[in-house]
């Protein structure tokens, strides 16, 4: 009887690496389809949309899926982002598998109708994953904004950790917010020329919103203010009820005002409202519009959150952060000293909050840390890189050509897009701002800097 031919394990580094240099065959403006479905995606892609809209080289086309429908529409209006197509795929109590099927089908139809030159997705939502998959199936290259974040635990956060890992193999461009994120991508086999360290676009948007000055901080008080945001699936249930009890005890000090913009999820409301709805030291409100949230964040003293985006925004304004999670894909703030990962135990949460409120030296040490997440020019770097790669002469692969190969059984080693074996462009120990040095300094030359915003972000103060 014939024996099956043994096959060796396949790793991400085995896949042929697509070229990032791709000409737009029809000439004219580059048609970029930006896919978003949640409030955080709107916040983080708005700077990219604005940057593209200001350039004659791009035609940005925004498609929304409506994952966070009410909050999303409010957000897009505030940020001046026009929507080309709204899929409206959400159904009451639908399963993630059902949502995924609807999204891939709906986004595939939009891509076929619009025929974009690239698809841009952000972060780790189900919308982002399905946007990347639909683009791959239609042989359209994918740009992944906020690429390379990892906790190392596939189901924490759920489903975001697996979502972002699955986007990686089909993305053509990986816009990493930090050197650590870029290093994760390189370790997974992504060619260096496909990665650009940009900083995080959330900083761009936060600074833009505060400069506009139209948000309102309606919670001014003589007491110190603690801004709290909670919503993650892994924290819901009894764990979140215990957190609510800890917040109640903190508010009962009498010198603290808890400000809690309450997520619309019934699971979140059922867990937190019994403890805080009638608490004199807590102000529980419906979700704030982003302009008002930014103003409230700027006016608070301390932040307690399980949100990823807030972990990035608060250090930009010098606000100490206690992260109410057991893992974080944004360890840069923890390592820099701007945030502390305190877990979900109510006693620990209360003790850490009290320590920062009572120990001014500890508070100042956290408040004065340089922001590790960006300088406000991430979107400019992203758009400059895409313009350079898509406007110039190059290998026409992926727009109407070969795309990303689905055959992972080829020879290991250097991919076609990585002939020199260069690593991801990460600022090295001696690098000046804008100097893109590969992860493997023995292999290499700096990345070309195309304009003052296109070089890699250097997070060092």
Q: Are strands 339-341 and 321-323 parallel, antiparallel or unpaired?
A: parallel
Active site residues: 124, 146, 160, 231, 233, 263
Per domain, the residue ranges of the chain are 12-200+375-443, 218-367
Distance in angstroms (rounded) separating the CA atoms of residues 149 and 311: 13
Same fold, 12-200+375-443 and 218-367: yes
pLDDT value of residue 433: 30
**375-421 pLDDT, tens per residue?**
999 999 999 999 999 986 543 333 333 233 222 222 222 222 222 23
What is the reported pTM?
A: 0.77
pLDDT value of residue 68: 66
Strand partners, 281: none
The hierarchical CATH code for the domain 12-200+375-443 is 3.40.50.2000
Report how far apart, in Å, the C-alpha atoms of 220 and of each of 139, 217, 256, 258, 300 are: 52, 7, 12, 12, 9
Distance in angstroms (rounded) separating the CA atoms of residues 323 and 379: 26
Are 128 and 122 contacting, i.e. CB atoms less than 8 angstroms apart? Answer: yes
Could you please report the per-residue DSSP string of 390-422?
HHSS----SSSS--S-----S-SS--TT-TT--
Distance in angstroms (rounded) separating the CA atoms of residues 52 and 176: 19
- Please tell me whether the peptide bond between 159 and the residue prior to it is cis, using omega within 30 degrees of 0: yes
Rg (CA), the chain: 22
DSSP secondary structure letter of residue 447? B
Fold of 218-367: Rossmann fold (3.40.50)
- Please, which residues have CB within 8 angstroms of residue 195's CB and are 6 or more apart in sequence? 147, 148, 174, 176, 182, 185, 186, 424, 425
pLDDT value of residue 426: 34
pLDDT value of residue 112: 98
Residue 122: name the closest of 63, 77, 55, 69 by CA: 63
Distance in angstroms (rounded) separating the CA atoms of residues 397 and 392: 13
- Please tell me whether the peptide bond between 262 and the residue prior to it is cis, using omega within 30 degrees of 0: no
**278-302 pLDDT, tens per residue?**
999 999 999 998 889 999 999 999 9
Sites in the chain below the pLDDT cut of 70: 1-27, 68-71, 74, 78, 392-461
């Amino acid at each position: 009887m014939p024996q099956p031919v043994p096959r060796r394990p396949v790793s991400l580094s085995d896949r042929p690496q697509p070229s990032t240099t791709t000409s737009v065959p029809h000439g004219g403006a580059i048609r970029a389809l930006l896919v978003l479905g949640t409030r955080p995606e709107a916040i983080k892609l708005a700077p990219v949309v604005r940057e593209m809209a200001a350039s004659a080289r791009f035609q940005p086309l925004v498609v929304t899926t409506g994952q966070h429908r009410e909050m999303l529409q409010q957000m897009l209006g505030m940020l001046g982002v026009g929507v080309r197509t709204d899929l409206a795929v959400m159904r009451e109590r639908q399963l993630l598998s059902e949502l995924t099927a609807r999204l891939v089908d709906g986004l595939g139809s939009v891509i076929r109708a619009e025929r974009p030159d690239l698809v841009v997705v952000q972060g780790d939502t189900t919308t982002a994953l399905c946007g990347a998959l639909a683009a791959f199936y239609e042989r359209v290259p994918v740009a992944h904004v906020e690429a390379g974040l990892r906790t190392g635990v596939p189901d924490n956060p759920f489903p975001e950790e697996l979502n972002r890992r699955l986007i990686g193999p089909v993305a053509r461009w990986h816009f990493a917010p930090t050197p650590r994120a870029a290093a994760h991508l390189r370790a997974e086999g992504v060619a260096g020329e496909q990665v650009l360290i940009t900083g995080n676009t959330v900083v761009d948007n936060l600074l833009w919103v505060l400069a506009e000055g139209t948000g309102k901080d309606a919670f001014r008080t003589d007491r110190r203010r603690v801004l709290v945001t909670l919503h993650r699936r892994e924290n819901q249930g009894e764990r979140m009820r215990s957190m609510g009890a800890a917040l109640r005890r903190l508010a009962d000090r009498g010198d603290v005002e808890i400000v809690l913009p309450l997520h619309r999820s019934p699971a979140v409301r059922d867990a937190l409202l019994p403890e805080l709805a009638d608490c004199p030291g807590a102000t529980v409100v419906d979700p704030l519009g982003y302009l008002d949230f930014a103003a409230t964040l700027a006016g608070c003293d301390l932040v307690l959150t399980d949100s990823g985006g807030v972990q990035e925004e608060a250090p930009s304004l010098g606000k100490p952060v206690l992260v109410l999670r057991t893992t974080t894909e944004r360890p840069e703030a923890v390592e820099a000293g701007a945030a502390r990962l305190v877990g979900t135990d109510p006693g620990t949460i209360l003790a850490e909050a009290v320590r920062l409120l009572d120990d001014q030296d500890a508070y100042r040490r956290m408040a004065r840390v340089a922001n590790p997440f960006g300088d406000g020019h991430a979107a400019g770097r992203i758009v400059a890189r895409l313009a350079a790669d898509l406007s110039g002469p190059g290998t026409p692969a992926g727009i109407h050509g070969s795309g990303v190969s689905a055959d992972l059984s080829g020879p290991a080693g250097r991919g076609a897009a990585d002939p020199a074996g260069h690593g991801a462009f990460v600022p090295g120990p001696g690098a000046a701002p804008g100097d893109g040095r590969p992860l493997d300094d023995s292999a290499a030359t700096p990345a070309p800097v195309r304009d003052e915003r296109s070089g890699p972000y250097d997070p060092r103060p």
